[in-house]
Amino acid sequence: MSAMVGMKFGVSMPNWLNLVTDQDKGLEEVIKLGSRGCYDFVSRNSKKLLVTIGDSWTYGYRLAEEDLDDPHFRSSNTFGYLISNEFNADFLNISVPAINNLWMIKKLEAVCKNVEDYNQVDVIVMATELGREFNTDFDMDPVYTQLYKDCWTAKDVIVALSDHVSNRIESCRNEKIKIHTFTNYVTNLYKKGNADNWLEILCDTKVSECYAIGSWVIPKFKHLVDYNQAIDPTDLKTELLTMMEQAEKRFKLIYNTGYNHKAGYGHPNSKGHLKFAEYFINQYRSKYA
């Protein structure tokens, strides 16, 4: 526990309060996290900041089960904490289990407006499966309605959403803020996205195309016919069945890496977080002064 001296888990600098919106306060996924809310913050009194943005994988879901006696085990064993510790940077972990990529990009944009206290900012966006945001409160803006009207397949929606998020990520880049775009277990379609996703790093091999694996996510695409009524429902159903088959194969791979839990979404264990952290540190060490 001596390594924890000086670390402030859950303590906010005033500007981080700007990250929390009224929508966040009403989200069941955030409410479940109690006083932690949608982020952890660790101060090392540094002028460097490492930010991770993601879902349950980035949050460190199931890590706490490895040491029930240590209330900080989850927080201090996420890949982001390990990376920030290596580079002696302050650490901001913005993550909520079951959240979507549109939520993540909003948080990235908010972070970029609130980093005046730092000289160097690195952000790891760990995007999740595509489709969680489809036909929800997160994509009610008319821009998405128009986007979906031009889609004929679930894959079209996936590519369109990826392009939309990519463009917003690119608009956040500047000399001070370095953004590293990964995906956790699905194919990375983002511009300037890292070639290896987290799963490929864990199993040390390239994986086949797959964009969604959630049994609650893939069926959501059937509502595409509500936006484009010219779509053949039979063709769409066939596509979704294929996506489900790809998801089953992906779960088998995730469950057998040795670095993931063999249940649910196959969240990484502490060894899985460490392996990704070591990968990132080795790839980007020279960029940290």
pLDDT at site 284: 87
pLDDT for residue 4:
38
Phi, psi of 24 (to 5 degrees): -60, -45
Residue 63's nearest CA partner among 256, 271, 255, 278 is 271
> Residue 120 belongs to what domain range?
2-287
Q: Which long-range contacts (CB under 8 A, 24 or more apart) does 11-17 make?
A: 11/41, 11/43, 12/41, 13/41, 13/43, 13/117, 15/114, 15/116, 15/117, 16/41, 16/92, 16/114
Q: Running DSSP on this structure, what letter comes out for residue 126?
A: E
Q: What DSSP character marks residue 187?
A: -
- Residues 102 and 108 sit within 8 Å (Cβ to Cβ): no
Alpha-carbon radius of gyration of the chain: 19
Given pLDDT bands bounded at 50, 70 and 90, which one contains residue 286?
confident
CATH of the domain at 152: 3.40.50
Share the mean pLDDT of the chain: 93
pLDDT at 12: 45
The confidence score (pLDDT) of residue 15 equals 66
Instruction: Indicate if the pLDDT at residue 264 is higher than 50.
Output: yes
pLDDT, tens digit (0-9, with 9 covering 90-100), for 22-53: 999 999 999 999 999 999 999 999 999 999 99
Number of compact structural domains in the chain: 1
Provide DSSP, 215-279. TTTGGGGGGGGGT-TTS-HHHHHHHHHHHHHHHHHHHHHHTTSSSB-SSTT--B-HHHHHHHHHH
